[in-house]
Amino acid sequence: MSLASTKDLNKAHQIKSSLTTPKRSRREFPWEADMESPTTEHCAEARRNSAVSFDSQTNSTSSEDHLASSESQPPCHGASHNRKHGLCKTVSGTETSIQRNPSTADFPARINALVIIDVQNEFISTRGNFPIHETCRPDLLQNLQALIPRFRHAGGEVVWVHAVYENPSEEPAAMRAQARGDGIVACNQWLVAATHVSRMPCCEAGSWGAEPYPEVFALAQPADAVVAKGTYSAFRGTTALLRTLRRRGVTDVFFAGCASGTCVLASVLDAIGIGEVRVHVVPDCLGWRRRNTHEEALRRFEELGVGLVESGEIGIGSTQRSSLPSAQVAPID
């Protein structure tokens, strides 16, 4: 299936659902506000306070620690709601609002989405300009090929996210404004603002490298959503992914794909910052170019309180206990 056909498929999904897109408040998307990433302190609190077990086959959930009050509240997405319910704290001298992760009671039913990031020729093929490490490629392909139909059979949604980079000659201002980090994985603020900047082309529009990797994309079905992104994060600069998740009523997102320390991590950070879904990562369905970067990414996922769920534990009727994020930080107006 060509990149052009995937665009047609995505366009059809957008047209079909255009009349049902919910109206949002002024701060709809993460790039509309200078959102901070969750701090270690808040993530540690999240891991202490939140534990959810689920059965992927039946899409049922049970929460052991109720973060919401006994009287069920809708997910809070704005500073006014946080002020009303006393969810304000001061972090590093800046007043911020602590947004609780939606509890099980906030959703009438659980709807899971598998978001597959950048499984494209540029990264998966050995002929790509930025191939993942050869030691992780076989497991990534095998596990994804087994997970996708099983996830769909269990009633989950499947979303394909593909990178299309303009290949700028210098870093955009949003990247230059942030510190690069430690050289292994860039700091959170830099990472979510980043895009591909290199003399070597990467996923240029219409190129072979930007096409979906055929061995995996052969499992795509017409009901799947296909969206494009121009930054590391799947949520920056485009509303396509967030609108897709909203239209389909998704409550839980399972991230897979590559690379774990760049595009997957950046997307996870933004998903947590938005605060509308519970966030999970499938570790054995991740691709990486450097092992130390991958290991650092896994450490950050755990630090963020993200649920780490192996592909073999999804959609088989077994109960998997995972720690889920329950606190996000955003500046108060």
Strands 307-308 and 278-287: parallel
278-301 pLDDT tens trace: 999 999 999 999 999 999 999 999
Cβ-based neighbours of 3, under 8 Å, separated by 6 or more: 162, 206, 210, 211, 212
First to last CA, the chain: 46
Rounded-to-integer distance, Cα 247 and Cα 244, Å: 5
Tell me what pLDDT residue 38 has.
41
Residue whose token pair is 């993200």: 306
Coil, strand or helix at 274: helix
Q: Quote the tokens at residue 185.
A: 């994985």
63 - beta bridge partners? 52
Cβ-based neighbours of 148, under 8 Å, separated by 6 or more: 114, 116, 158, 216, 219
User: How many C-beta atoms surround the C-beta of residue 200 within 10 A?
Assistant: 9
User: Against a cut of 0.75, is the pTM above it?
Assistant: no
Question: Which candidate, 105, 43, 97, 111, places its Cα nearest to that of 68?
Answer: 105
Residue whose token pair is 């006393």: 86
Tell me what pLDDT residue 183 has.
55
Q: Quote the tokens at residue 332.
A: 């108060």
Question: Which candidate, 269, 273, 304, places its Cα nearest to that of 188?
Answer: 269
**Cis omega before residue 210 (within 30°)?**
no
User: How many C-beta atoms surround the C-beta of residue 126 within 10 A?
Assistant: 9
144-193 pLDDT tens trace: 999 999 999 999 999 999 999 886 656 667 667 666 666 566 677 777 77
Give Cα 158 to chain centroid, integer Å.
13
Helices 3-17, 240-247: crossing angle, 10 deg rounding: 50
Pinpoint the alpha helices (H) of the chain.
3-17, 40-49, 79-84, 121-124, 137-153, 173-176, 188-193, 214-217, 240-247, 265-274, 291-303
- From first to last of its 333 residues, the chain has per-residue pLDDT tens of 554 455 555 554 454 443 333 333 333 333 333 333 344 443 444 333 333 333 333 333 332 222 222 233 333 333 333 322 222 222 223 222 323 334 444 444 789 999 999 999 999 999 999 999 999 999 999 999 999 999 999 999 999 999 998 866 566 676 676 666 665 666 777 777 777 877 788 999 999 999 999 999 999 999 999 999 999 999 998 899 999 999 999 999 999 999 999 999 999 999 999 999 999 999 999 999 999 999 999 999 999 999 999 999 997 543 333 333 333 323 222
**Residue 81 near residue 69 (C-beta atoms within 8 A):** no
Q: Is 129 left (phi over 0), alpha (psi -120 to 50) or beta?
A: alpha
Rounded-to-integer distance, Cα 164 and Cα 206, Å: 9
**What domains does the chain contain, in order, with CATH numbers?**
3-16+32-65+75-331 (3.40.50.850)
